[in-house]
Amino acid sequence: MIQRQQTLWLILSAAFAALTFKFPFYEGTRLNDAKMIEAASLDSGDNFFLLILAAAIIVMSLITIFQYKNRSLQLKLAIVGLLLSLGLIAVYFKYVQAFNSGSMALWCLFAFGTAVGFIMAIRGIRNDQRLVKSLDKLR
């Protein structure tokens, strides 16, 4: 299980999704409730929807790791995880619009890294499927 490359990519995706709780995606200024400009940052813990999406990505990647005996289900779960991570990035950009000014933090790479990890895991799962099919032809 751990020796397969897609397992390592899925662990990396889970770690990146967990790091989005700690490090900001965007840093800048925005208006608060009292119409005062304040410095703020946006991370996964700032909003309930971001929290749910990031937690779902972590859970999805961990569940996908342990489906190594059923590659077709593992592939489907990895695709769902990829869609969730792309959805997380889209929601981040939606909440960035509430800021008056600011810039992307360097840590935003963690959010993009989750999607890259899922893409690489999907490639690894497909390579395993091709390998098994080619071995079945030899029997």
The confidence score (pLDDT) of residue 30 equals 84
This prediction's pTM: 0.88
Q: How many residues are listed for the chain in this entry?
A: 139
Instruction: Provide the number of structural domains found in the chain.
Output: 1
Supply the CATH number for residue 9's domain: 1.20.140
Alpha-carbon gap, residue 85 to 88, rounded angstroms:
5
Q: Give residue-wise pLDDT tens across range 39-65.
A: 888 889 888 999 999 999 999 999 999
Q: Which amino acid is at 2?
A: I
Host domain of residue 23: 5-138
Place of tokens 């959805």: 87
Closest to 110 (Cα-Cα) out of 26, 39, 47: 26
Place of tokens 């593992």: 74
Alpha-carbon gap, residue 64 to 79, rounded angstroms:
10
For residues 32 and 50, the model is more confident at 50
